[in-house]
Structure 1
Amino acid sequence: MFTIEHDFDATVITLIDEGAPSLQEDVIICAFEDCVTLEQFDPRRNEPLRLTLSMTQVRDLAAALNLPEGSYRLEANKG
């Protein structure tokens, strides 16, 4: 299950793990104009962990989800 909310400066997507037996903490994805952050609460540290991706990294991740094993470099659009 997931939710999508549009805030003033970001789109916020929350991924909710409904699987069993070992559920993971929710993942909160915030898409800003210049970066995307992913947050997940770490119960062992009792604090949220945050990862920040540049828009180039997000583009590469989206492409990687549909490619076979290997090493790739995406060319910038020219035009």
Structure 2
Amino acid sequence: MFTIEHEFDATVITLVDEGPDYLQDDVTISAFDDCVTLEQVDPRSDEVVRITLSMAQLADLRAALNLPEGSYRLKPE
């Protein structure tokens, strides 16, 4: 399950882990004009862990999801 909310300066997507297996805490993804952040609560420390990706890193990630093992560099558009 997931939710999508459009806020003033970002689009916020929350991924909710569902099912009978071991469940992870929700992941919140916020897309801004210049970066994307991913947040999840660390169950060991009960603190939010945040990862920030630049738009170039996000493009690399998107490409990597469809490529075989190896090292790559995207051509600038």
Q: What amino acid does structure 2 have at the position aligned with 1:66?
A: N
| Structure 2 length-normalised TM | 0.96
Q: What amino acid does structure 1 have at the position aligned with 2:51?
A: L
Q: Deviations along 1:13-56, whole A, 9 cap, x unmatched?
A: 00000022210000000000000000001121011100000000
The unaligned stretches of length 5 or more in structure 2 are none
Instruction: Say which SS state the counterpart of residue 28 (structure 1) adopts.
Output: strand
- The answer to whether the aligner puts 1:60 opposite 2:60 as a matched pair is yes
| Structure 1 length-normalised TM | 0.94
- The answer to whether the aligner puts 1:45 opposite 2:45 as a matched pair is yes
Instruction: Say which SS state the counterpart of residue 14 (structure 1) adopts.
Output: strand
Q: In the alignment, what sits opposite 1:19?
A: 19
The number of residue pairs the alignment matches comes to 77
What's the % identity of the aligned pairs?
Answer: 71
Instruction: Say which SS state the counterpart of residue 4 (structure 2) adopts.
Output: strand
- Structure 1 stretches of 4+ with a deviation exceeding 4 A read none
Q: In the alignment, what sits opposite 1:75?
A: 75
What do you get for the CA RMSD once the two structures are aligned?
0.7
C-alpha distance in 2 between matches for 1:66 and 1:76: 18
